[in-house]
Structures are given as structure tokens and as C-alpha cells.
Amino acid sequence: MMVLRGGRRSTHEGDQVEDGASDGARTGVEAHAAAGPVAGAANVARGGGRGRHPVGRRPRATARAAVGVLVTALALAGCQAGLPDLEPGRTPSATADGPATSEPASPSPTETAPEPAEPPEPEPTPDPTPTEAPAPTTPPPAPEPTPEPPPAPVEPAELSRGTTGDRVVALQQRLADLGYFISAPDGDFGGGTQQAVWALQKAAGLSRDGVVGPATQAALDEGVTPQPRSGSGKVIEIDLDRQLLLAVEDGRVVTVINASSGNGESYEAKGRTYRASTPRGEFHVGRQVDGNHSSSLELGDMWRPKFFTGGIAVHGSGSIPPWPASHGCVRVANSAMNWLWDSWRADPGTTVLVY
């Protein structure tokens, strides 16, 4: 190294070298203070080599001092040796092996008082997100009150055609028990029930309106029935006054049937005039037709007729009013005529008593 070589020279040159080394050392220290450790060490080395002082002033001590300064400078510069300056515009520092160049000391940056930082503007507080009010819940509908069953219809005080119900059933059953011809009870006051009520009213001598009012109900409660005139055998009795047909067995009335006989009026048929009457007397069933039969006088049809004198017969019809309405035959309901044929069996030879 150059300093060492300078040191060696100072031993031969005496005090001048020693003074030069001292001056060089001082110069290097000042330069080191101003330009950094590496540049200062370099200056000391150069000063040690160039100084001219009288020989014999402690040359060795002076050399040792210079070496110590250099070693200190190199130790201080060792952390930066070989590393590039990271600040823009500066060149890397000289290494220990390369020539150290002195660089002008960079003036220390003037420290300026920091400007007071402006307080940050408060961020606007976001409007609170409106909380949606919960949708009003529809309360469950109140349970509907259980409707009370409608009151039972009040049955009329009087029973007539078209009425239904338990009272009609009772009426029908009572009529059947008394022997009036009627179908099985069904609670419907229809045409068959009306026929039986007419027969009851005829037997009781009441108005024949087909309505079960107080008088008819009283006759029903009393059990009014017509009395037969025959006392033996199977006899068809026809009561013209009361317009009733009685099926009698050995003096006992089995069935009472509503009937309609000749009205007593005159009528014309095939150019001749006839009187619509039903003859009285005792007769017997003769000819019969099991089906629908047309009148020879063109007076209409007869259902399953049983003739008992001439052209006069008991037969079924669709119109049996409570009064006399025929041309002389005895009309009964078709269902009643079927009963005479199929159930009671009024065969030919059966007595027919008309009075």
C-alpha cells in the first residue's frame, strides 16, 4: 500500500517525513471529516507520501500514527467497499484496492420544518341504509263461524198432493193399515196417496178435496172404513153413492179402492145416443182382456177390463176423479186394476155386486 511505502521512506528522510506524515495525517483527518471515511484515508495516505519534514522527528511514531488512521478509515469504509451507491447520480465508492478519489462533500440537506399536515377531510358519513320496514303480515283470517243448520221446514198443518216428509209416511202407513189401496209408503204425497185420501173421505162422508185437514185426519184417527153388504165368498162390491169399489172376502173388506162410475149424462157414439149410467144389480165377471182394449163405441181405451154386463166393465184408467165421470164403466187406477188381476185374482165367475 502507498501509505506503508511512504512510512518506509520516512525512516530514511528523517524529521521531514515525520512532519510530513503529521501534516498529511491532519490533512487526511480533515478531509475524512468533510468527504467521508474513504476519501479522508486516501488524503492521509497522499499527505504522508508528499510531506517534507526534517528527518529525525520521531519517524516511527509518525508512521505508526498514519497507519492507525488509515486502518481506521479503511475499517469505516469497509461496509461500503464494493457496493454501488443506491442514490441516483452517485458513482460507487472506491474499493480498498483501487485509487480513492476525493469527492466534494455533499452539503447536508437543509432540514425544513414540516408543513403542518392538513387534517384529512372527514369522509362523508354514508347515509344509513334505510331498513325496509317488514311488510305488514296479513293476520290469518278469523275462523268463520260455523253456520247453524237451517231450521227444519215447518210442515203445513194440512197435507196435500206434493207434500213430503215423515207425516206423509205416517199418513200412507195409516191408510194401508185401514185397507185403503195405496203403494208402499215413500213419504211423497203423490197421485196414489191422493186416490187413497179420496177413498177415505168418501167413506167418511167428507168433502172430496184430497187434502188431509182436521176432519180427514179425525176420520183417519178413528179408522173409518166402509162396511160390506155381502157375507160370503169373494165379491166385488161397487158403491155408486160413495164411488167406491170394495174387494170383499166372506163379509170382510180386504181393500177399498177409489172408483168413478157413469155420470148419468147422455152422449152420442156412432150415430146413436146413449146414457152414461152404471146398472145396479148382481153380476158376474165374464169376458176379460189382459191388456189395453179399445171401446167398440170409440169412447177410448180400457186397461185390462173385466166385463160383467154387456159392454160395461171394471177397467183401469189414467183419470179417476172423486166423482162419477165415465160412460157407464167403473174406472179404477191402473195399479189397482193390476192388483185385482194379479194379487186378488178376480177371475171370471167372481160376483160383482153393484148398489
Rounded to whole angstroms, the Cα distance separating 182 from 194 reads 9
CA–CA distance, 258 with 197 (Å, rounded to integer): 9
Length of the chain as a residue count: 355
Q: How far apart are CA 238 and CA 245, in angstroms?
A: 5
Phi, psi (deg, nearest 5) at residue 15: -65, -25
CATH superfamily of 234-354: L,D-transpeptidase catalytic domain-like (2.40.440.10)
The helix/strand/coil state of 134 is coil
Cβ atoms 53, 95 nearer than 8 A:
no
274 phi/psi in degrees, rounded to 5: -130, 160
- The answer to whether residues 91 and 27 touch, using CB atoms and an 8 Å cutoff, is no
Name the grid cell of 138: 296479513
Q: Where are the domains of the chain?
A: 2-77, 166-222, 234-354
> What's the pTM?
0.58
Task: Find where cell 227444519 sits.
Answer: 152
What gap in Å lies between CA 64 and CA 343, rounded to an integer? 169
Regarding the domain delimited by 166-222, which CATH topology (the fold level of the hierarchy) does it fall under?
Muramoyl-pentapeptide Carboxypeptidase; domain 1 (1.10.101)
- Rounded-to-10 torsion of CA 280, 208, 305, 295: 90
What is the three-class DSSP state of 230? Answer: coil
Tens-binned pLDDT, residue by residue, of the chain (355 aa): 443 333 444 334 334 433 443 444 344 434 343 344 444 434 433 444 444 444 444 555 555 666 565 656 555 555 444 444 444 444 444 444 444 444 444 445 455 555 556 666 666 666 656 566 666 677 777 777 788 888 766 667 899 999 999 999 999 999 999 999 999 999 999 999 999 999 999 999 999 999 999 999 999 999 999 999 999 999 999 999 999 999 999 999 999 999 999 999 999 998 999 999 999 999 999 999 999 999 988 899 999 999 999 999 999 999 999 999 999 999 999 999 999 999 999 999 999 999 9
Ramachandran category for residue 51: left, alpha or beta (phi over 0 → left; psi -120 to 50 → alpha): beta
